[in-house]
Structure 1
Amino acid sequence: MSKIAIVTDSTAYLPTDTIHKYGITVVPLMVNFGQESFKEGVDFTADQFFARLATEKNLPTTSQPSVGEMVQAYERLLETHDAVIGIFISSQLSGTAHSAETAARMVEGDITVIDSKITASGQARLVLTACEMIEQGQDKEAIVAKLNSMVETIKAYFIVDSLEHLHRGGRVSGASALIGSLLQVKPILHVEDGKLELFEKVRTRKKSLARITDLVKEKRDSTKHLTLTIVYTDNPADAAEVTEQAKASFPDATITTAQLGPVIGTHVGPGLLGFIFDQQ
């Protein structure tokens, strides 16, 4: 039976115990405050990042892992494994998957790169599925086929306090036309084919969250199991409240809560609440 390694990037925001349990390799992205650069998940915590973000006059930037870092990760893993599966943040949100693909062409060995077309808990869901299938003894072809199928089913809807961070980071198309007009609106954004897009304009935060819950219900397939993660940035109390509401709305679903880290936080800013879900 072939031995398969899993590599991902830091924006999956996997718990440390999960990383250790499955031996997952995590390549960090970088957050840059002026001339200072920090490795996500290594140099400071999400809470430390959001505390600093609140005091900074200039927004930080982010950068992807270098091709060289990816090459080193692959070469190390292939010393003890027959194959590597890499699962990375959407190529529409970061150049990380491109770096991973370039590195794969430079290394002699069996390497498959998956563009998750998502990030955060959606990306983590793919990683965990791959790890579980490896534990079950399934081969690489079956794992890759399953992941490619799941990529097309994972959905994400969220609201942010302000579009400023997304606009300045160039992450939302057409945001420049919306900045001035949405001061009293809590827009719902979603991930469509790996891109962040404006989905709908709703007048209040409460109505936006109710609308997202309705969207999940509309897309619900009663013959499949719903896995839903409530994601947040610097607002754990809000996330806890929304999680309890989601449990009431979807009593038979698997529902968890997860904090987004510095890289995604750089682009969405404080106050985010989101629903990332899939059905299998």
Structure 2
Amino acid sequence: MKIGILVDSSSGLTNETTKNTNIEVLPLHILVENTKDYLDTQEIKTEFKIYDQIKNKVHVTTSQASPGELTEKYEKMLKKYDHIIHLSIPSNLSGMFQTSVMVSKMDEFAGRVTVLNHFLAANILAKIAFKFNEMVKNENIQIEDFQKEIDEWSKNSLLYLIPSDYSSLAKGGRAKSVLLSVLKLFKTKLAIQWEEKPRKGGISRTITGLIEKLYDAIVTKFKEKFKLLLVYTEVVSQKLIETIREKMNLKKINYQEEILPTSFACHAGLDTVAIIAYKEELE
């Protein structure tokens, strides 16, 4: 059985980064002033200068792909694959998951599309997609193995989101209860631990103090056998990133750096940073 993997642009993957794989990318939408609708592709950054618009306080938000777009994508993929594993943006970030489940139950897709249930987000979904791409090479793979795999990632990974624009994120309804309690505090750095019900992962007066708390929590959970990602937007404050790098290097922390998907900057601000950790053995 030939299996295709579908992710959306909230993973940070693009058609370029998934070339020569069984992974395909469904772009979400980015809305400017609720009147201009753009696909979340590389062009949104290069041609439409979306980061400049966010910086200039233009109202920018995101929207899911329509049922029609998803139906068309499923139809095209099923001409190449016998089955689709859909790794959607989670339901606590978007209605895309519910739409995917609904469309997958249509008669023409029933038994041919599996939408995985999870609450993971951002770059960690890209890691899982590439793991799935290796799994499909196994002729004995079973469809249920993919849900089992993502369940393992859910149990053995951490995502801390450090937003730079609390008010924008709260208005969007994402982690609202966590953010409203922090908005009253002056110059406080907050990390949201992203899971089924996002919660406060750490709080500090300084970014270095927050990084230390998060790292201690990661070590407590994983001991020493984990991989760590420092994730940020392409236009993040260099002073902020250098401060974080200095702190991590001082503590002799091994880490890799990656770019945060555009959709997160739209909701959480241009200086948003994420710390992602997961067990080494998962990759």
Q: TM-score range, shorter-chain basis?
A: 0.7 to 0.9
Residue 131 of structure 2: aligned partner: 129
Alignment partner of 2:180 out of 173, 176, 179:
176
Q: Does residue 167 of structure 2 align to residue 164 of structure 1?
A: yes
Aligned 8 A contact 2:182 2:190 in 1: no
Corresponding position of 2:88: 88
- The corresponding residue for 2:98 is 98
**TM-score, structure 2 as length reference:** 0.86
Structure 1 residue 110 displacement after superposition: 1.6
Alignment match, 2:264: 264
Q: Deviations over 1:96-148 (max 9, x none)?
A: 11111111011334211113412111111211110111134451333332223
2:148 aligns to what? 145
Query: Which residue identity does 1:199 align to in structure 2?
Result: G
Aligned partner of 1:205 among 183, 207, 213: 207
CA RMSD of aligned residues (A): 2.4
How far apart in 2 are the matches of 1:220 and 1:162?
30
Aligned length: 271
CA distance in 2, matches of 1:138, 1:157: 35
Deviation at 1:246, TM superposition (A): 4.4
Please, which runs of 5 or more residues in structure 2 have no aligned partner? none
Distance, in Å, in 2 between the alignment partners of 1:117 and 1:73 is 23
Check conservation: 1:231, 1:239, Cα contact below 8 A: no
Alignment of 1:21 onto 2:20: yes
Match of 1:220 among 219, 222, 228: 222
- Offset at residue 244 of structure 1 (A): 7.1
By how many angstroms is 1:245 displaced?
5.4
Letter in 2 for 1:56: K
Shift of 1:236: 6.8
Distance in structure 2 (CA, Å) of the matches to 1:103 and 1:277 = 33
Which residue type is aligned with residue 148 of structure 2? A
Shift of 1:92: 0.6
User: Residue 160 of structure 1: CA displacement?
Assistant: 2.4
Secondary structure at the aligned position of 1:92 is classed as coil
Amino acid at match of 1:91: S
Provide the C-alpha distance between the structure 2 equivalents of 1:243 and 1:22, rounded to a whole number of angstroms: 33
Residue 187 of structure 1: SS of its match in structure 2? strand
Distance 2:246 2:8 in 1: 30
- The offset of 1:4, in angstroms, is 0.3
Do residues 55 (structure 1) and 59 (structure 2) align? no
CA distance in 2, matches of 1:14, 1:164: 27
In structure 2, do the counterparts of structure 1 residues 232 and 42 end up closer, same or farther at CA, with 3 Å as the change threshold? Answer: closer
CA contact (8 A) 2:191 2:210 kept: yes
Identity of aligned residues (%): 22
1:52-95 deviation per Cα after TM superposition (whole angstroms, max 9, x unaligned): 211134x2121101111111111111122111100011111111
- Bigger shift: 142-151 or 263-272? 142-151
Correspondence 1:191 to 2:194: yes
Residue type of the alignment partner of 2:206: T
Distance 2:122 2:237 in 1: 16
